[in-house]
Chain A
Amino acid sequence: MAAAGAAGQEKQLAPTLLSFFIYNPKLGPKEGEEEKKILFYHPNEVEKNEKIRNVGLCEAIVQFTRTFSPTKPAKSLHTQKNRQFFHEPEENFWMVMVVRNPIIEKHKDGKPVYEYQEEELLDKVYSSVLQQCYSMYKLFNGTFLRAMEDGGVKVLKERLEKFFHRYLQTLHLQSCDLLDVFCGISFFPLDKMTYLKIQSFINRMEESLNIVKYTAFLYNDQLIWSGLEQDDMRILYKYLTTSLFPRHMEPELAGRDSPIRAEMPGNLQHYGRFLTGPLNLNDPDTKCRFPKIFVNTDDTYEELHLIVYKAMSAAVCFMIDASIPPTLEFCRKLDSIVGPQLTVLASDICEQYNINKRISGAEKEPQFKFIYFNHMNLAEKSTIHMRKTPSVSLASVHPDLMKILGDINSDFSRGETMDEMQTLQLLQPC
């Protein structure tokens, strides 16, 4: 295994993304038109014929395996050098991700020798990563089919290009683990009374800003309330905690008098500010553009503006119907209503949280290392992972152990007798 042997001469190369493509076999069924099937291909520099070849190979594998299992075609293909993951999120739309196996670089007779670690990658982890790619795309762009309806292949290709070009760069395949399989939500522990106060706050805000359709409330990057349905919240939570919040960390950490803070529109009454949308409410020319998100795509298919507003550690997401463009006036109103109340609420939560922490003695190092996941409410908790940084979540245990945990999880889910709740608990390996 990796740790064995002459450590000084060995170098471990982490798994990397080799290629990522999306195709639809129905778009170019005739010979000679194969290129039309390809909707997105990364890396784009790859020569056309190779793209076509790779897509064709995937198509063939899926077709071939389908003859053995019509309802569950192949999900991954193991080769020595890499592993391919297939996912059909919408009918006939296939997403393929090719990941290079981790390598151990050795030196023999002064020449580098590469040893591919064929069994290192966990199918479930990377299949989940691929599924998340789709969910994230769908959150901001809607379904593939909808794009086709909106403007045919051209529009779909544009959207895919625009989204995945950036998104793929943020995939950190080397640090994916069991948590990616769960894609859970970390809930903020809170006493009943404070929770009810938050409820009351949300209800009143939704009433005052009557165009708000859904609200989500987070504290310390942990969820407290979601008006969105679970599956939509799951991916929005992922976006908020791994992308949006980390990008806004710096000014938050900077003191009130620091130059970064000075650039932000000063408001003496409260600490509220927009994380999406207008930067400066005092500037009449400021743009009130908010990211659009798509939720409930299976039935009502709603398009919404995502307004994320934060005061201290408390963040609220207000989601309003996309047909109503939020004006500067609306943003000012929101700021004036939500800002002061959220500031007070945030300090209430902080105070209550500290009291509870002291009572429960949660400040101590946890006795057991565990990963908890409740599939009913997607609640996730890990004492193995350090606080997530923008890109990576670092496990504090040996990677081998993480792999074993992943294997156990796969074993559990393979058998249909999966328990209602899965708690993997292990003693800290010393």
Chain B
Amino acid sequence: MAAAAGRQPPGPAEGEAPAAGREAGAGGEEGEGRAKGGVEAGGCYLALCARPVHFEKANPVNCVFFDEANKQVFAVRSGGATGVVVKGLEDRNPISFRMEDKGEVKCIKFSLGNKILAVQRTLKSVDFLNFIPDSPQLEYTQECKVLPEKRTLKLLKNQSINVNWYMYCPESSVILLSTTVLGNVLQPFYFKSGTMSKLSKFEIELPAAPKSSKLSLSERDIAMATIYGQLYVLYLRHHSRTSNSTGAEVVLYHLPREGSCKKTHILKLNRTGKFALNVVDNLVVVHHQDTETSVIFDIKLKGEFDGSTTIHQFVLPPRSIQPYQIPVAGPPSVTSQAPVPCKLYSSSWIVFQPDIIISASEGYLWSLQVKLEPVVNLLVDKGKLMDFLLQRKECKMVILSVCSQMLSEPERGSLSVIATVFDKLNNEYKKYLEAEQSYTMVVETGLSRSNPLLKRPVRTQAVIDQSDMYTHVLSVFTEKKEAPHKFTIAVLMEYIRSLNQFQIAVQHYLYELVIKTLVQHNLFYMLHQFLQYHVLSDSKPLACLLLSLESIYPPAHQLSLDMLKRLSTANDEIVEVLLSKHQVLAALRFIRGIGGHDSISARKFLDAAKQAEDEMLFYTIFRFFEQRNQRLRGNPSFTPGEHCEEHVTFFKQVFGEQALMKPTTF
């Protein structure tokens, strides 16, 4: 297995490649150290990707190279004369071409976009080949910026430093140079659109004072990676007998674009031996070859802070990468064979940043993945589990399943745990809502033009909103009815409490869920108390729901009307509700109270009054509208447009013609 940075000692076929592209070793010591038995398959939270890049394995006539920038594997047969095959993780269609064998290839790689091929054959020169369509494929050479049109290169800048070794991180375009005798003073440079800027140098603290003045910091022990959007230099500090550390550790130096590099985190490995590093989904993965297990660290989780650095223990117990089966290639007759298990943590593995593992001997390139499902059972502390999951890319469904799990037997969580989980989810939800809100505000006020950097906030999977919770967790949980209703209500109230705490407006469907549950268990008094304290916020849908409960809980009628009144946008509904109950006078009083009695339909009220089968009521209502007619038009009679002929006839029938109001003549 290769060391931290993915560098491998020279293999039998090639020498060390000095160019930026690391060679991916060859040969391989297969059969050495069989997989240790008993490595628990359960709980493996790391896995190799299901669709690896397969390439012809390294052998004396086939050299294999890996380019970290494009994540491509080059298989060069006989110096390119018999073919070069380029495969990448992203571009699934391999590029094949031939080139003249001009000697042993030390390093080979494409420019971004696969337009220019660079081949290094000697120590001092690099050959270039244009891969632009309709452009002649002629090679041109430059000794030590490439202009494909002119087939020349341009020297950007010259810096004279004594360098022991260097390391380039394509992701961040930062190159790190090891300087001084001991090699532990690192000088970073940052490349951006054709310029190179020098960042402030920093010193890596070595574990113990070196005995002699010789190179003491190897590039194998250094890696660069972007974690949570920040560039870090990772230093694998081996256990030293003289220091009282309990094992090796990974020291993280934060390398900002501006300002000085600072030691910020220490990851305790608590073991010794050979290690390799990967960074996956903002987690630092440390592989340990001796035990064939890996551990992960999350620098966002709480650690022990000593005033300048935070010390972290690994998040989960060490586990092996999930066993991997190599599909057997070959004629169909043979493929029926059982797939061969892949030797994990093999010494022929080479690890590249951030998440690449290559087995040169078997001809595979994988990306490393973090599996979240197994983590659920390994992290007992649900609060910590949520902190961990909320930082992961593909976390939504796992989080929702954790929520479902903690609400049902046998792993039902206590209410305080449930509260903690809800708070953590809503904290994230609120952050997104706020970002979204301030973005909308800036856009609406037209301030966006002055701020070109303004971007719409990205909704990550960690944003779990009310509809997610309702659909995947709460409605399922309430419908199952396996938990005692007390618990069900407590959980719903806890979720509502949490939303309120983060000042998030609660959607009415959550209230409906509460009401439904209360109604099912005849807990009307509780419902009444919740409404009394406006825990269930007013809304038209909620008022309608209450109205529908009237037959089983009569006070719901009044509660509903009160709610509609408070909404002050539901006056028509109030009138309708009252009329439907034949409370015609109450409806009329209400509409008069809000000053709407001049525009209401007389027919509607007269209809309701007639249905009430109360003659005095009918008389009163009829008289009211006659008076209105008199006031508005100077005549108490109804106009044909009001369609009240039927009611006028009825009135005459019951009370006699003389009861009709006489028009006042002056």
Which residues of A are at the interface with B, using a C-beta cutoff of 8 A? 187, 190, 192-193, 195-197, 199-200, 203-204, 206-208, 225-227, 229-230, 233, 376-377, 379, 420-421
Indicate whether A376 sits within 8 Å of B535 (C-beta atoms), given known contacts A200-B494, A203-B493, A421-B558.
no
* Contact residue among A227, A229, A377 (Cβ-Cβ distance under 8 Å from B532): A377
- Asked whether, in the complex, the Cβ of A420 is within 8 Å of the Cβ of B534, the reply is no
CA distance A233 to B528 in the complex (A): 14
What A residues does B163 contact at CB under 8 A?
Answer: none
Hey, which chain B residues are within 8 Å of A196, CB to CB?
493, 496-497, 500-501, 535
Q: Is the CB of A226 within 8 A of B500?
A: no
Asked whether any CB of chain A lies closer than 8 Å to the CB of B415, the reply is yes
A sample of 30 inter-chain contacts (CB < 8 A) reads A187-B532, A192-B535, A193-B501, A195-B533, A195-B535, A196-B496, A196-B501, A197-B497, A199-B497, A200-B415, A200-B493, A203-B415, A203-B486, A203-B489, A203-B493, A204-B416, A204-B419, A206-B490, A207-B415, A207-B487, A230-B525, A376-B528, A376-B555, A376-B559, A377-B528, A377-B529, A377-B532, A377-B555, A379-B532, A421-B558
Tell me the nearest residue of chain A to B491, going by C-beta: A203
Q: Which of B489, B490, B496 has the most CB of A within 10 A?
A: B490
How many Å from the CB of B397 to the closest CB on chain A?
28
Shortest CB distance A192–B (Å): 6
For A207, give the chain B residue with the smallest CB separation: B415
Q: Nearest chain A CB to B148's CB is how many angstroms away?
A: 65
B414 within 8 A of A: yes
B residues in contact with A420, CB < 8 Å: 558
A195 to B496, CA, bound (A): 11
Q: Report the nearest B residue to A233, measured CB to CB.
A: B525
| Docked CA distance A203–B490 (Å) | 6
Query: Chain A contacts of B529 at CB under 8 A?
Result: 225-226, 377
Select B493's contact among A193, A199, A206, beta carbons within 8 Å.
A199
Q: How many residues of B are counted as interface, with CB atoms below 8 angstroms from the partner's CB atoms?
A: 25
CB within 8 Å for A203 and B528 given contacts A192-B500, A193-B501, A376-B558: no
Is there an interface contact between B490 and A207, defined as CB atoms closer than 8 Å? yes
Query: Smallest CB–CB gap between A115 and chain B, Å?
Result: 45
Q: How far is the CA of A226 from the CA of B414 in the complex (A)?
A: 22
Q: Find chain B residues with CB under 8 A from A190 CB.
A: 533
Of residues 583 through 608 on chain B, the ones whose CB sits less than 8 Å from some CB of chain A are none
Distance in Å from the Cβ of B377 to the closest Cβ of chain A?
Answer: 24
* Known contacts A187-B532, A225-B529, A421-B558: A200-B497 contact under CB 8 Å: yes
Q: With a 10 A CB-CB cut-off, give which of B415, B487, B559 has the most chain A CB atoms.
A: B415
Q: Measured between alpha carbons, how far is A149 from B166 in the docked complex, in Å?
A: 95
Taken together as a complex, chains A and B put the C-alpha atoms of A196 and B558 apart, in Å, by 24
The contact string, 1 if C-beta is below 8 Å from chain A, for chain B 509-534, is: 00000000000000001101100111
| Contact, CB under 8 Å: B493 / A207 | no
Per CB-CB distance, the 10 closest pairs between chain A and chain B, nearest first, are A203-B490, A196-B497, A376-B555, A195-B533, A204-B415, A230-B525, A420-B558, A199-B493, A200-B497, A207-B415
Which residues on the B side are within 8 Å of A206 (C-beta)?
486, 490
Q: Shortest Cβ distance from A362 into chain B, in angstroms?
A: 17
Residue in contact with B525 in the complex, picked from A204, A207, A226, A379, CB distance below 8 Å: A226
Closest to B490 in A: A203
Contact bitstring B557-600, A, C-beta under 8 A = 1, else 0? 01100000000000000000000000000000000000000000
Q: Which residue of A lies closest to B558 (CB)?
A: A420
B535 CB contacts on chain A under 8 angstroms: 192, 195-196, 199
A204 CA / B494 CA spacing, docked (Å): 10
Q: Are A192 and B534 in contact (CB under 8 A)?
A: yes
Q: What per-residue 1/0 map shows which CB atoms of B459-503 lie under 8 Å from chain A?
A: 000000000000000000000000000110110011011001100
Q: Give the CA-CA distance A230 to B493 in the complex, in Å.
A: 21
Cα distance A323–B510 in the bound complex, in angstroms: 37
| Cβ-closest chain B residue relative to A213 | B486
A12 to chain B, nearest CB (A): 41
| Highest count of chain A CB atoms <10 Å: which of B416, B525, B533, B555 | B533
Q: Given the complex of chains A and B, what is the CA–CA distance between A376 and B496 in angstroms?
A: 25
Contact between chains at B500 and A193 (CB < 8 Å): yes
B490 and A192 form a contact (CB under 8 A): no
Q: What is the minimal beta-carbon distance from A338 to any residue of chain B, in angstroms?
A: 14
Min CB–CB distance B298 → chain A (angstroms): 29
Is the pair A207, B528 in contact by a Cβ cutoff of 8 Å?
no
Chain B residues with CB below 8 A from A197, complex form: 497
| A192 close to B533 (CB less than 8 A) | yes
Interchain nearest-CB distance for B581 vs A (Å): 11
**A233 CB contacts on chain B under 8 angstroms:** 525
Q: Which single residue of chain B is at the shortest CB-CB distance from A223? A: B529
- Once A193-B500, A204-B416, A376-B555 are accepted as A-B contacts, the answer to whether A229 and B493 lie under 8 Å apart by CB is no
- Please, which residues of chain B bring their CB within 8 A of the CB of A225? 529
Known contacts being A193-B501, A196-B535, is A203 close to B494, with CB within 8 Å?
A: yes
Indicate if the CB atoms of B525 and A229 lie closer than 8 Å: yes
Contact A207 B497 (CB under 8 A): no
Task: Given contact pairs A195-B533, A196-B497, enumerate 18 new A-B contacts (beta carbons under 8 Å).
Answer: A192-B500, A192-B535, A193-B501, A195-B535, A196-B500, A196-B501, A199-B535, A200-B415, A204-B415, A204-B419, A206-B486, A206-B490, A207-B414, A207-B487, A208-B414, A225-B529, A229-B525, A421-B558
Q: A229's closest neighbor in chain B, by CB?
A: B525
- Name the B residues within 8 Å of A230 (CB-CB): 525
- A85 to B419 Cα, complex, angstroms: 54
What is the bound-complex CA distance between A132 and B186, given in angstroms? Answer: 87
Q: How far is the CB of A416 from chain B (nearest CB, A)?
A: 15
Chain A residues whose CB sits within 8 angstroms of the CB of B494 once the complex forms = 200, 203
- Shortest Cβ distance from residue B299 to the other chain A in the assembled complex, whole angstroms: 32
Q: Which residue of A lies closest to B553 (CB)?
A: A376
- Bound state CA distance, A203 and B558, in angstroms? 29
Nearest-Cβ distance from residue B22 to partner chain A, whole angstroms = 56
Q: Inside 8 A of A227's CB, which chain B residues have their CB?
A: 526
Residues of B contacting A379 with CB < 8 Å? 532
Among B419, B497, B555, residue most surrounded by chain A Cβ atoms (within 10 Å) = B497
Give chain B interface residues in 385-428, CB to chain A under 8 Å. 414-416, 419
Chain B proximity of A198: nearest CB distance (Å): 9
| B145–chain A nearest beta-carbon distance, Å | 62
Complex CA distance for A115 and B250, rounded to whole angstroms: 100
Can you name the residue of chain B whose Cβ is closest to the Cβ of A224? B533
- For A200, list chain B residues within 8 Å (CB): 415, 419, 493-494, 497
Bound together, the chains give a CA A233 to CA B487 distance in angstroms of 22
Chain B nearest Cβ from A202, distance in angstroms: 9
Residue of A nearest to B501 (CB): A193
Chain B positions within 8 Å of A208 at CB level:
414
- Chain A residue with minimal CB distance to B486? A206
Q: State the CA gap A193–B502 with chains docked (Å).
A: 10
Nearest-Cβ distance from residue B487 to partner chain A, whole angstroms = 8
Which residue of the partner chain B has the closest CB to A375? B555
From A200, A208, A225, A229, residue with most partner B Cβ within 10 Å: A200
Would you give the shortest CB distance from A194 to chain B, in whole angstroms?
9
Least CB distance from B162 to A in Å reads: 64
In the complex, A196→B490 CA distance in Å?
Answer: 11
Q: Chain B residues near A376: list those with CB within 8 A.
A: 528, 555, 558-559
Interchain nearest-CB distance for B275 vs A (Å): 45
Q: Which chain B residues border A207 with CB–CB below 8 Å?
A: 414-415, 487, 490
Give Cα A199–Cα B493 distance, bound, in whole angstroms: 8
Contacts of B493 in A (CB 8 A): 196, 199-200, 203
A187 and B530 CA atoms in complex are apart in Å by 12
Closest B residue to A230 using CB positions: B525
How far, in whole Å, are A187 and B528 apart by their CA atoms in the complex? 13
What CA separation (Å) do A197 and B493 show in the bound complex?
10
Query: Which residue on chain A has the smallest CB distance to residue B528?
Result: A377
Most chain A CB neighbours (cut-off 10 Å) among B490, B525, B532, B559: B525
Task: Tell me the minimal C-beta distance from A77 to chain B in angstroms.
Answer: 35
**Which residues of A lie under 8 Å from residue B501 when comparing CB positions?**
193, 196
With the chains together, A208 CA to B416 CA distance in Å?
10
Identity of the chain A residue whose Cβ is nearest the Cβ of B493 in the assembled complex = A199
Considering the complex, give the chain B residue whose CB is closest to the CB of A189: B533
B452 CB to closest chain A CB (Å) equals: 40
